Amino acid sequence: MTTPPAGAQLRLRGRWVAPGRPVVMAVVNRTPDSFYAAARFDDASADAAVARAVDEGADIVDLGGVRAGRGPRVEVADEIARVIPLVRRVRARHPDLVISVDTWRAEVARAAADEGADLVNDTWAGHDPTLMEVAAERGLGIVCSHTGGARPRTDPFRVEYPARDGGDPLDGVVEDVVRTVSAAARRAVSLGIDPASVLVDPTHDFGKNTWHSLHLVRRTEALVALGFPVLMALSRKDFVGESLDLPTEERLEGTLAATAVAAWLGARVFRTHDVRATRRTLDMVATIRGDRPPARTVRGLA
């Protein structure tokens, strides 16, 4: 069996992030209505959540202030009030930790940059076209995502991605994702962002049904071939739940299975609610691939 090539590594503000190994991005949501109840943190508990993620092996923390799905409207000022003080505290308490801010709004990204953020996780595919310009101006990395044209905080409904040349019907979503994120990545580079600081994310569930998301996992190599670090945000998502008919709180094993497949195929960064389990899964995959030696080898030798 041929091992797929390892994917591109990640560099932010001129510094390599977890060189030589997959990168764990911990989710810390400053929201009262996150789809996963265990990831809802108020101002008092968010600091402890960040510290715990670091202890469990996180390389990046991704701080968000607005639920991705439908819910009460959150104004820009409200999002800033939720996220920016947390960015400030995390930077002060964890000076070497990579800080990502999950936002589609340029105003939030600018405020986060002022407090020491390193990366903007734009999960809504450039809905605000000035967001990428802010990242370039402030020296931040950027996540280029795919939503199939969906607007922020909307759910997909009967979305279709026709395949070219009468091939596998599901290949249409891969083609659309590759076309969208590669165009966004080229724009980021043209604005002066380091190519190693430009992540591409197929953005499972966003603008997609479960068949689409499953196919994007098995076709991870198509994203890796673009030459940018690939981000996989798989954690406890609906495509996992629908595959196994499980509620959000019971989707860990399914998430880790998808994580292992994507890691084997060369994805680099994994956004997760479950840091310790994800870190161990990624280390095991890296060891099987031959990218990482076993921690110890005494069986049959001593």
- Cα distance between residue 24 and residue 58, in whole Å: 5
The answer to whether residue 294 is domain-embedded is no
Segment 187-202 shows an average pLDDT of: 98
Q: Average of pLDDT values for 65-85?
A: 90
Q: Is residue 297 part of a domain?
A: no
**Cα–Cα separations (whole angstroms), residue 110 to 29, 31, 135:** 19, 20, 8
**Is 302 contained in some domain?**
no
Is pLDDT above 90 for 102? Answer: yes
Q: For residue 102, give the nearest of 89, 115, 85, 83 by alpha carbon.
A: 83
Quick check: is 237 catalytic? yes
Domain count, the chain: 1
Annotated catalytic residue, options 82, 110, 187, 271: 271
Report yes or no on 64 lying in a domain.
Answer: yes
Structure tokens at 196: 């190693």
The domain that holds 124 is classified in CATH as: 3.20.20.20
Spatial neighbors of 224 by CB under 8 A, at least 6 apart, are: 4, 5, 7, 8, 230, 265, 266, 267
- The per-residue pLDDT for 260 is 98
- Give the C-alpha separation, 140 to 13, whole Å: 7
In a domain, 276, yes or no: yes
Note whether 160 and 74 are within 8 A (CB): no
Residue 67 has pLDDT above 90, yes or no: no
Residue 207 lies in a domain: yes
Using 50, 70 and 90 to split pLDDT, how confident is the model at 195?
very high
| Measured CA distances, 203 to 14, 145, 173, 291 (Å) | 26, 6, 11, 26
Whether the pTM exceeds 0.85: the reply is: yes
How confident is the model over 193-201, as a mean pLDDT?
Answer: 98
The burial class, CB within 10 Å (0-12 / 13-18 / 19+), for 168 is: exposed
In sequence order, the β-bridge partners of residue 99 are: 61
Q: Residue 163's Cα: distance from chain center in Å? A: 26
pLDDT of residue 155: 82
Mean pLDDT computed over 203-229: 97
Task: Return the minimum-mean-pLDDT range out of 38-42, 164-168, 182-186, 238-242.
Answer: 164-168
Provide the pLDDT confidence category of residue 70 given band limits of 50, 70 and 90: confident
Domain that holds residue 233: 11-289
pLDDT digits (tens, 9 = 90+) for 131-176: 999 999 999 999 999 999 888 878 888 898 988 877 788 999 999 9
According to the model, what pLDDT value does residue 1 have?
65
Domain assignment present for residue 19? The answer is: yes
Predicted confidence (pLDDT) at residue 69 exceeds the cutoff of 90: no
Q: What is the mean pLDDT of residues 250-268?
A: 98
Q: Which of 187, 236, 237, 268 is catalytic?
A: 237
The mean pLDDT of 267-273, rounded to a whole number, is 98
Supply 56's token pair.
């469990």
> For a pLDDT cut of 70, what percent of the chain falls above it?
99
- Taking 90 as the threshold, does the pLDDT of residue 254 lie above it? yes
**By percentage, how much of the chain surpasses pLDDT 90?**
83
- Determine the average pLDDT of the residues in 181-210: 97
Domain assignment present for 218: yes
